[in-house]
Amino acid sequence: MKGIFITFEGPEGSGKTSVIKAVETALKQRGIDVLVTREPGGVAISEQIRQLLLDVDKKEMDPRTEALLFAASRRQHVIEVINPALKEGKVVVCDRYVDSSLAYQGHGRGLGIDEVYRINHFAIDGTLPDLTLFIDVPPSIGLNRVFANGRNVDRLDLESMAFHEKVYEGYCILVKRFPERIRAIDGTKPLERVVERALEMIATRLDEE
Ligand code: TYD
């Protein structure tokens, strides 16, 4: 039996991580065999790549290098974690995946969504999400949340507001381009409401199996 692959996407401070935690609890309560993971998923090779990617001192990093490193990290995570779990029939929920690269590197950095999709196509080799939930929070609200709640600020958080606006625009393009796969949820609503919407959409997808 092949499992189901669900990804969560959103700009900085969209609250994805809290939503995913609540979704995981609810799915487990319903007896669903769920595996929650996040890029780089605790995989040693991917963790090392991530350290390089998020290091605030690596200001010289070229956008294509950045895109290739995210794709390389993703590849190892797919091979070691995602594909084996899907093979076991699990519902795999991943915090960020290929659409992050399309929005951040493709549109945010201006490399082009199609160009970045090509290298990711090579990296993921067919492991595309069955459903992607985009937690829609405008960047001004999201970044305020990040700086207010004092989480560690990484190299990408420190980018300009213009960059984050582009990333958000990138996500909006993706929602329009892949309407059958990507669903937007209003992330400015209270957490319980966002979780409820996410669970409804997941239930609909599971019922289709
Ligand atoms: P992450 O630690 O998951 O941050 P968040 O809590 O915002 O989800 O991701 C780190 C940063 O890396 C975040 O700014 C998004 C960015 N990123 C990309 O630019 N491209 C990618 O492919 C991925 C997975 C993340």
pTM: 0.95
Starting at the edge strand found earlier in the chain, the sheet holding 182-186 runs 34-38, 91-95, 4-9, 131-136, 182-186
pLDDT above 90 coverage of the chain, percent: 82
For the chain, the structural domain boundaries read: 4-207
Distance 100 CA to ligand 1 centre (A): 7
- The predicted-structure confidence for 155-203, as pLDDT tens digits, reads as follows 777 788 899 999 999 999 999 999 999 999 999 999 999 999 999 999 9
Cα(first)–Cα(last) distance of the chain, in Å? 11
Pocket test for ligand 1, best of 55, 56, 102, 104 (most atoms within 8 A of CB): 104
Q: Specify the CATH number of the domain 4-207.
A: 3.40.50.300
Residue 119 has pLDDT above 70, yes or no: yes
